[in-house]
Chain A
Amino acid sequence: AQSVTQLDSQVPVFEEAPVELRCNYSSSVSVYLFWYVQYPNQGLQLLLKYLSGSTLVKSINGFEAEFNKSQTSFHLRKPSVHISDTAEYFCAVSDLRSYNTDKLIFGTGTRLQVFP
């Protein structure tokens, strides 16, 4: 069975500081990996994804994540955060065997709180 572990439930950080949100997964098969963001009182939005190819993937708003197969990790990083980045971040995996479904396994989330 697959699982996703987000070790940090909350990450407080000052504006313009770097941040890393950690994600580890467990799976016996190849997976797709995702980071979704949930702003207050909103649904989830896809931030970035790894399907294949380059192990470093980037979002349009400065976040990046690197797929590390040996470490089974997909940590999310940003070199300089903004107040507007305050949100809940969820790491998720999709089993490639679930070919005909969009079943995602989510972690418990990390609350990123950016202070001025």
Chain B
Amino acid sequence: ETGVTQSPTHLIKTRGQQVTLRCSSQSGHNTVSWYQQALGQGPQFIFQYYREEENGRGNFPPRFSGLQFPNYSSELNVNALELDDSALYLCASSSQGSHTGELFFGEGSRLTVL
């Protein structure tokens, strides 16, 4: 069984730039959620994708956007990067309909904005 994989693991950008983070969901999972974990904080829900559509969104501005592909993999895009966007971005997959809240997390992509 293949777990959740994320790429890249680390990256550095400058303010105003755009970034794309990628996630492959665990085998058999059809739902992907993205979380932002700032240093010293708990993860915060960005949004969730199911059947290639956004299915729930947290308190994040529109410059945070995403995609889900037919193979259930997903991208997180952030435009006009700000210093406060520096964080660990976690992808989690699950099976829609389980309603158990059990998420399977990847190891994250650490973004540094200078």
Decide yes or no whether A54 CB sits under 8 A from chain B: no
Interface size in chain B (residues, C-beta < 8 A): 28
User: Please, what's the 1-or-0 string for B89-103, where 1 marks a CB less than 8 Å from any CB in chain A?
Assistant: 010101010011111
Give A95's nearest chain B residue, CB to CB. B101
Are A45's CB and B105's CB within 8 A? yes
**Measured CA separation A45–B42 after assembly (Å):** 13
Which residues of chain A from 75 to 110 have a CB within 8 Å of any chain B CB?
A: 90, 92, 94, 98-109
Set of chain A residues within 8 Å of B44, measured between Cβ atoms = 106
CA distance A45 to B45 in the complex (A): 16
Report how far A95 CA is from B54 CA in the complex, Å: 18
**A90 neighbours in B (Cβ, 8 Å):** 42-43
| B24 CB → nearest A CB, Å | 13
Q: Is the CB of A101 within 8 A of B55?
A: yes
- B40 adjacent to chain A (CB < 8 Å): yes
B66 interface hit (Cβ, 8 Å) = no
* B73 touches A (CB below 8 Å): no
Query: Which listed residue, B43, B96, B102, touches A100 by the CB 8 Å rule?
Result: B96
- Measured between beta carbons, the chain B residues less than 8 angstroms from A106 are 42-44
Known: A103-B33, A104-B45. A51 touches B56 (CB 8 A): no
Within 8 A of B (CB), among A16-68: 32, 34, 36, 41-46, 49, 51
Residues of A within 8 A of B (CB): 4, 32, 34, 36, 41-46, 49, 51, 90, 92, 94, 98-109
A-B contact pairs, 7 of them (CB 8 A): A34-B101, A92-B42, A103-B33, A103-B45, A104-B45, A104-B103, A109-B42
